[in-house]
Amino acid sequence: MSHLRTRSLDRRGFLRGAAAGALGIGLGAAGIAAAGAAPAPSTGRAADSAAWRSSGWMGELSADLSLDDITMPGAHNACALVGGPFDTAKCQDLALPELLNAGVRYLDVRCRPVDGAFAIHHGVIYQRKNFQDVLNECRDFLSANTGETLVLAVQKEHSDASDGEFADIFNDLYMSELGFDGLLHRESDSLPTLGEARGRIVLVTTQPDIGGLRFPSSDSLFVQNEWELPTEEKWQAVERHLDASAAEAGDTDRLAVNYLSTTGGELLPSPRGYAEALNPRLEERLNAEYDRGDRPVYGAVLLDFAGTVSADLPRALFRLNEGS
């Protein structure tokens, strides 16, 4: 294993201080509120993570941290609860509000333009959810947990719509007509600090002309998404990216994004099967590092079945932020 630059318990200050059949889409608000009152965000160093609420762990961190200085749980295909034939499209068990309350902060969401709005899809499978639902649920969570921020990765899915059509829907409907513009941080050239992003959604996207950090080519992102590898090769890719992320932490302005998900190159993959093979391995590694006092910075680590397969894995990730 390569040398890792980490936060240790006895030297907590190494990080820099500044820094929607998809037809007939309904546009009604989901209105699901996250549980729990939010404490005031921290103005100092993070305390012992044993006391952190999964719904409010970012509130324990210093406002001066840049997002690339934070280890955060993510959800690959965060809204993919409908599996379709053979269950190959199902990537999560928990609904979006439950994921957020479990500590997930980076959301991978796939949008299909249909009748002037966005349906949420995984491949051909409509996930019985629309983009306005996603934004409403995120807004409700952030209203209840004011010390938190979310990263929302948006991409076009199962569609021949042009990039211009996608951008028009995003900008005209969601940002202007429905009024979500103020909720999103759409700067395209740099990562915000946690203090700048609290209460808002940082946009990452594959699409042009909607703002946000371009995935995966932005200078502010450092991505591993080798999604067709078999289990052992995928694990090796994940570990290489973990090591590289930790080694450069504090020296660059890039948010590491590391996908634990894979199809194994199969025609009919089992996302759950791969999660059952990979999630425990990651949890074992993280727990060993934590127990010996290491606090590596890994950026966003995106999971399938976050909070259910290896149920404590989100906490194993976010507690690495102790001392920041």
In a domain, 30, yes or no: no
Peptide bond preceding 296: is omega within 30 degrees of 0, i.e. cis? no
For the CA atoms of 207, 204, 128, 140, the dihedral, rounded to the nearest 10 degrees, stands at -140
Output the pTM of the full model: 0.88
- Percent of the chain topping pLDDT 90: 82
In this structure, what are the phi and psi dihedrals at residue 248, rounded to the nearest 5 degrees?
-100, 0
Q: What span, in angstroms and rounded, lies between the C-alpha atoms of 76 and 89? A: 11
d(CA 267, CA 181): 39
Report the distance separating Cα 184 and Cα 203, nearest Å: 7
Say if 6 falls within a structural domain.
Answer: no
Q: Whole-angstrom Cα distance, residue 125 to residue 140?
A: 26
Task: Please give the distance of CA 195 from its chain centroid, rounded to a whole number.
Answer: 18
User: Tell me, what's the pLDDT at 74?
Assistant: 99
Residue 94 is part of a domain; what is its CATH number? 3.20.20.190
Give the start-end residues of each E strand in 186-274. 201-205, 213-214, 221-224, 255-259
Q: Which one-letter DSSP state was computed for residue 11?
A: B
Closest to 201 in 3D by CA, of 151, 166, 136, 141 = 151
**pLDDT above 60 (res 247):** yes
Q: What is the DSSP track for 89-116?
A: T---SS-HHHHHHTT--EEEEEEEEETT
Task: Say whether pLDDT at 10 is over 90.
Answer: no
pLDDT of residue 288: 99
Q: Is residue 12 part of a domain?
A: no
Pairwise CA distance, residues 304 & 113, whole Å: 24
Q: Residue 130 is part of which domain span?
A: 47-58+67-321
Q: How many domains does the chain have?
A: 1
Question: Which pLDDT tens digit goes with each residue over 91-132?
Answer: 999 999 999 999 999 999 999 999 999 999 999 999 999 999
The beta strands (E) that lie in 41-168 are given as 72-75, 106-114, 117-122, 125-130, 150-156
Q: 88 in a domain, yes or no?
A: yes
Confidence check: pLDDT of 282 > 70: yes
Position 1 in a domain: no
pLDDT recorded at residue 38:
55
What are 289-322's pLDDT values in tens digits? Answer: 999 999 999 999 999 999 999 999 999 999 999 9
